[in-house]
């Protein structure tokens, strides 16, 4: 019986440890992305806007009309708030599309996520402005130089193709000129032969 009780206690401890491991293994919910945060901020702003422009304030501004037509005043207010919210949402949606905010937010989230796995320490100023400026500008200038060299090679290749096209065009023109000259000489020869033949027939017997 004691042994059985000991085995039961060990099993209980193991089960408790298993529960602890299971609790530790629970996935931590991921932080919302910046696009989601932006949408939440917009929704919160609209809620506060509606709260600030409450129906009571609207009715107080049009007190005389409200006393005469309270139901119509409420209907006008509801329509105004609905159109205002729709207009603001449409404007924000157009801004997001024109500025590609969704893509920029996602790219920023990706950059931040990748930066978490970097083991290298973040850059810190050395205290010597000249060296800091040089360390910041040199990579940029090297990258810009590589870009300019790439553009130069592309332009040189384009110029080479254009030059080849021009030379081919000139050769074609030269061939056409030679062909025209040859045909002209052939027509002249034929015309000369025809004139000689006519002259032969016109000689007196």
Q: Are 85 and 50 in contact (CB under 8 A)?
A: yes
> Does residue 113 have a pLDDT over 50?
yes
Q: Is 127 left (phi over 0), alpha (psi -120 to 50) or beta?
A: left
Residue 201 CA to residue 53 CA, distance in Å, equals 114
Q: Are 123 and 52 in contact (CB under 8 A)?
A: no
Residue indicated by tokens 């040089």: 134
Q: Are 102 and 96 in contact (CB under 8 A)?
A: yes
pTM: 0.37
Both tokens assigned to 17: 């440890």
Residue 77 CA to residue 55 CA, distance in Å, equals 7
Q: How does pLDDT run across 32-71, given as a tens digit for each residue?
A: 788 888 888 888 888 888 888 788 888 888 888 888 888 9
- Residue-wise DSSP of 36-60: HHHHHHHHHHHHHHHHHT-HHHHHH
Termini Cα distance of the chain:
158
Q: How does pLDDT run across 161-196, given as a tens digit for each residue?
A: 999 988 888 888 888 888 898 888 888 888 887 777
DSSP, res 25: T
């Amino acid at each position: 019986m004691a042994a059985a009780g000991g085995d039961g206690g060990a099993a209980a401890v193991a089960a408790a440890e298993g529960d602890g491991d299971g609790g530790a293994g629970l996935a931590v919910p991921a932080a919302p992305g910046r696009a989601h945060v932006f949408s939440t901020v917009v929704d919160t702003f609209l809620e506060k806007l509606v709260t600030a422009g409450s129906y009571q304030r609207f009715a107080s501004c049009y007190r005389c009309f409200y006393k005469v037509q309270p139901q119509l005043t409420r209907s006008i207010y509801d329509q105004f708030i609905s159109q205002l919210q729709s207009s603001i949402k449409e404007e924000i949606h157009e801004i997001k599309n024109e500025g590609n905010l969704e893509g920029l937010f996602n790219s920023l989230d990706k950059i931040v996520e990748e930066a978490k796995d970097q083991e290298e320490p973040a850059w810190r100023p050395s205290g010597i402005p000249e060296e800091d400026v040089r360390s910041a500008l040199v990579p940029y200038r090297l990258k810009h130089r590589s870009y300019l060299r790439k553009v130069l090679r592309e332009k040189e290749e384009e110029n080479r193709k254009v030059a080849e096209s021009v030379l081919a065009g000139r050769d074609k023109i030269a061939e056409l000129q030679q062909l025209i000259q040859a045909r002209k000489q052939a027509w002249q020869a034929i015309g000369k032969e025809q004139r000689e033949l006519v002259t032969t027939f016109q000689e007196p017997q």
